[in-house]
Amino acid sequence: MRFAILASGVISLAAAQSPPDYEKQILPILRANCFGCHSGKNVMSGLTLDSREGLSTGGNRGSAIESSLLLQAIQQTSELKMPPGRKLKPEQVDIIAEWIKGGANMPVHMLKAKRIGADHWSFQPVRRADPPTVQDPKWAKNPIDRFILARLEAANLKPSPEADKRALLRRVALDLTGLPPTPEEVEAFVADGRTDAYEQAVDKLLASTHYGERQARHWLDLARYSDTDGYTIDAPRDIWKYRDWIIDALNQDMPFDLFTIEQLAGDLLPNPTTAQLIATGFHRNTPSNFEGGIDFEQYRVEAIADRVQTTGAVWMGLTLGCARCHDHKFDPVTQKEFFQVFAFFNQADEVDREEDRKDFNKPFLELPTLAEVARTDAWKAQRNALKSELDAYSKGLADEVKKTDEGYKERESNFRVLDRRKPKVTSTLVMRDAAKPRESYVHIGGEFTRKGIPVTPGVPAVLPGLDKAVNRLDLAKWLVDRKNPITARVTVNRLWQRYFGKGLVDTENDFGLQGDRPTHPELLDWLASEFMDRGWSQKQLHRLIVTSAAYRQASKFREDAAKADPDNRLLHRQSRLRLDAETIRDVSLLTSGLLSRKTGGPSVFPPIPAGATKVTQVDREWKTSTGEDRYRRGLYTFSQRSALHPSLAIFDAPDGVVSCTRRIRSNTPLQALNLMNDEASVEFAHAFAKRVQDKGLDYGWQLALGRKPTPVESDRVKTFLGQKQEWLAVARALLNLDEFMTRE
C-alpha cells in the first residue's frame, strides 16, 4: 500500500509502488507525537527515534524496529502504550507499519545518533596551554601565577602582598599536616634568612607522617568512610585497616593512577599483595543493611548503585546516579550506560541470601596479630579436645538416648558454648568477585525487579572508549588513562579547592552541563597536564600550589578589589577558611600539650556527652578510651553513621552515608558552646592553662595563634588576670577565638 497526503492534511491509502517518504509522511508523525520524549534532546528509556541508529539500537527494552516494540507501542497492544494518554489515528499506525516493513529508511544525515552535550568543555581532550605573558613577571613564583596574574591584570587588579611569615607558616602547616607549627618552629622560620626558607619548610611538612593523616581525611570523605554499617542496626564493622592504607599510600606519594587502580581493583591484579587487597576497602565502605526480613538482593543492588554513583563523583565529577531510573536529564549519560558501569561492580561477592547472614560483611580479610593467632590456636585445641570427648562418649549411643542422657547433653552444651566463643581476630572488608558470574540488566524505572535489556560492562560514550571492558580492573585503568580527559581535571580541581576554598570549577561535584565553567580554564588544563606529566604525584602537585605566589597572598579583605572581584574568583587574595572538625580537635590537643602523635590503629573513643548515642535504635556502649588513645587525632575517632560524635557533627563533618566532595562551613552558636563546655574542650583548656601559667602569656598566645599578642590584647588580658587571676578562663577564651579555629 502507498499513502498520500491530501490537501486537507488527512493521510489516505493508495496503490503502493514505493515505501512511504520519510520526510513528508513519517517525520511529521514522529515529530508531533514521539520526539518530545524520544529524541537526542530528551532521551526517555534510552530510546531515540530521530536517527536510524537510535531506532536500531533501541532503548532499555531492546530494538525499536527489529523486535517490533515501536509498532506494539503505537498499536497499544502491550504494556507499552504510546503516546501516553492518547492514540495515533489508525492510518498513522498503518503508514508507520509500512515504513518499518520497508526497512525504516531515513535520510543520510539522520543515520547516526547525535549525543547532545558531547561538545561540553569537560569532555574534550586536555589541552596544555603555555603560561601567558604578564606585565609583572617578577611576581610569579611558578607558572601557576602567570595564569592567575593575567586574569587580574585584565581586570585592572593587583594581587595582594605576601602574608607575613608567621601567618604563612601556620597556614601551610595546617593545610599540609592539619597541625600548627610550634612557637619554636615559628621563631626559627622567622629568623631563617635563606631565600628558599619557605620551600624548605614546605618540603619538611610534605615529609612528615602527619601529611598522610591530613590528606587521608579529605580522601576518606570521598570514600564515605565509617566504622559502622549504617541503616537502622548500624552495627560496628572492621575497616580501619583501609584508613591506615590510605595514610601510608599518601605518605609514600603513591602515584594517583596506581592509587586509583589498587582501590578499585587491587584484588584483580596479578598475585595481589595484602596491601592491595586492603586497598579495595574503598567500595566496601558502602552502607550495609542486615536487618531481619529484608530482601538481601534489594540491598545488594543498592550497594552496587552506590558504588556507581561514588565512582562517578570521585573520579569523573559527574552525577551518574541521576541516570539510574532514567536517562540523565542534562548530561549525555543514558540509563543504559549507568547499568553498563553497574555491570563492572555487579560481580562483587556480597551477602545476598538469608543463609549468609552469619557471614554479614563478607568477604573480609583476616589479619591476626601474633597474640590473636596464639589465642585462636588455644581455642582450636580446646575445641578439638571437647569434640573428641563428645564423640567418644556418644559412641554407640542411639539418637533417642542422646536426648535424655545427661552426660551427653552436658558435653554437647560445653562444646556448643565454646564453639560460639571463637576469639575475634583483626580483619578488614575487601572486594572480591563472586564465584558464579551474574548477568546485568537495565532496571526499568530503576526497580531491580523489572529487568530490561541485558548489558555488559561499558562506559559513557561521551568519553573516550574502553578497548577492553571485562572487569573492575579495566574500568580503573580507563579512569586514569591519559586519553580520558576528566579524571585529572576533577582531581586537580578538588585539590585546588582545599587551598583556596573553592575550585577553579566551583561545582567540584558536577563537571556536567549544569555545573559551572572554570574561572581559569587554561590553568585547569595546565594543572591536569602537569599532574599526569609528573607521574600523577600528589605531593608534587601540593608543593606546586603551596609554593605559588597566589597561595602565599595575605587574606586581608581589600576594599579596592571587592567591587571588581566580590567573590574572589580571580584570586586577588587568599581566603580565610574555618578549620575542619577534626583539625579543630587536633589544634586544641597540640596547643594543650596533650596530643598523641601515634599513627594508625583501631578507631578510638574520646569523651562524648552523656546520651549522645541514644538517638540510635540500638544504643551501644561508648567505652571512653584511656591513656594516649584518649588524645588521638580526630581522624581516628570512631565514626558511627547514625550518631556521629557531636563535636564532629557540630563542625560539619560528614556522616559517611554518601561520598562528600566538599564540606560545608557553617557558623552556629553551638560551635562556641561546644568549645567552651564540652568535656574534652574543658580538659584541653585545663592543660593549656598550666602551660600558659608556667611560661607566660606571650608563649600561650604563640601556642594558640602562632603570634605574640598586640599591646592592646596584652593589656586586656593582664587587666582580666589582675581582677580574677584565672588562667583557665584565659585559656578557654583563647581556644574559642575565631582566629584560633581559622586558617588565615
Q: What is the DSSP letter of 326?
A: S
Rounded to whole angstroms, the Cα distance separating 652 from 482 reads: 35
Q: What is the pLDDT of residue 67?
A: 66
Average pLDDT over residues 659-671: 95
337: left (phi over 0), alpha (psi -120 to 50) or beta: alpha
pLDDT band (50, 70, 90) for residue 298 = very high
Phi, psi dihedral angles at 411 (to 5 degrees): -65, -40
For residue 262, what is its C-alpha cell?
589498587
Rounded to whole angstroms, the Cα distance separating 355 from 341 reads: 29
- Among 171, 176, 200, which residue's Cα sits nearest to residue 188? 200
Rounded to whole angstroms, the Cα distance separating 65 from 331 reads: 26
With respect to residue 632, please indicate whether it lies within any of the assigned structural domains. Answer: yes
State the SS3 of 413-448: HHHHHHHCCCCCCCEEECCCECCCCCCEEEEHHHCC
Rounded to whole angstroms, the Cα distance separating 554 from 552 reads: 7
Q: Does the structure show a pLDDT above 60 at 343?
A: yes
| Residue 10: alpha-carbon gap to chain centroid | 57
Q: Cβ–Cβ contacts within 10 Å for residue 472, how many?
A: 24
With respect to residue 726, please indicate whether it lies within any of the assigned structural domains. Answer: yes
Which tops the pLDDT comparison, 58 or 472?
472
Last residue of a domain, one of 408, 425, 442: 425
Rounded to whole angstroms, the Cα distance separating 74 from 68 reads: 10
**Taking the C-alpha atoms of 724, 727, 732 and 733 in order, what is their torsion angle to the nearest 10 degrees?**
60
Last residue of a domain, one of 391, 425, 459: 425
Q: What is the pLDDT of residue 539?
A: 98
15-70 pLDDT, tens per residue? 445 788 888 888 888 888 888 788 777 777 778 777 777 777 777 777 767 667 87
Domain around 408: 368-425
Q: Are 285 and 225 in contact (CB under 8 A)?
A: yes
pLDDT band (50, 70, 90) for residue 9 = very low
Q: What is the pLDDT of residue 357?
A: 60
Lowest mean pLDDT among 270-274, 315-319, 689-693: 689-693
With respect to residue 76, please indicate whether it lies within any of the assigned structural domains. Answer: yes
362-412 pLDDT, tens per residue? 788 999 999 999 999 999 999 999 999 999 998 888 988 888 899 999 999
Rounded to whole angstroms, the Cα distance separating 204 from 2 reads: 83
With respect to residue 709, please indicate whether it lies within any of the assigned structural domains. Answer: yes
Q: Cβ–Cβ contacts within 10 Å for residue 350, how many?
A: 25
Q: What is the pLDDT of residue 361?
A: 59
Kindly write down the DSSP assignment for every residue of 582-594, as one continuous string. Answer: HHHHHHHHHHHT-
Last residue of a domain, one of 110, 145, 162: 110
Rounded to whole angstroms, the Cα distance separating 688 from 681 reads: 10
Distances from the Cα of 309 to the Cαs of 258, 339, 498, 518, 582, in angstroms? 21, 11, 22, 23, 26
541-588 pLDDT, tens per residue? 999 999 999 999 999 999 999 999 999 999 999 999 999 999 999 999
Q: What is the DSSP letter of 111?
A: S
> Which of 77-86, 91-100, 110-119, 333-342 tops mean pLDDT?
333-342
The domain tally of the chain equals: 3
pLDDT band (50, 70, 90) for residue 10 = very low
Q: Judging by DSSP bridges, how do beta strands 38-39 and 11-14 pair with one another?
A: unpaired
Q: Are 235 and 597 in contact (CB under 8 A)?
A: no
The residues pairing with 365 across neighbouring beta strands, listed in sequence order, are: 428
Q: What is the DSSP letter of 312?
A: I
Q: Are 222 and 307 in contact (CB under 8 A)?
A: no
Distances from the Cα of 567 to the Cαs of 157, 494, 570, in angstroms? 14, 18, 8
Q: Are 110 and 454 in contact (CB under 8 A)?
A: no
90-126 pLDDT, tens per residue? 888 888 888 888 888 888 777 676 667 888 999 999 9
Q: Are 550 and 148 in contact (CB under 8 A)?
A: yes
Q: Are 165 and 172 in contact (CB under 8 A)?
A: no
Q: What is the pLDDT of residue 359?
A: 59
Average pLDDT over residues 645-663: 96
Letter string b/e over residues 498-530, b meaning 16 or more CB atoms within 10 A of that residue's CB: bbbbbbbbbbbbbbbbebeebbbbbbbbbbbbb
What's the mean per-residue pLDDT of the chain? 91
Q: Are 645 and 638 in contact (CB under 8 A)?
A: yes
Q: What is the DSSP letter of 121?
A: G
List all residues 6 or more positions away from 248 whose beta carbon is below 8 Å from its beta carbon.
212, 275, 600
Please give the angle made by the CA atoms of 664, 669 and 670, to the nearest 5 degrees: 75
Average pLDDT over residues 696-704: 92
167-209 pLDDT, tens per residue? 999 999 999 999 999 999 999 999 999 999 999 999 999 999 9
Which class for 96: exposed (0-12), middle (13-18), buried (19 or more C-beta within 10 A)?
buried
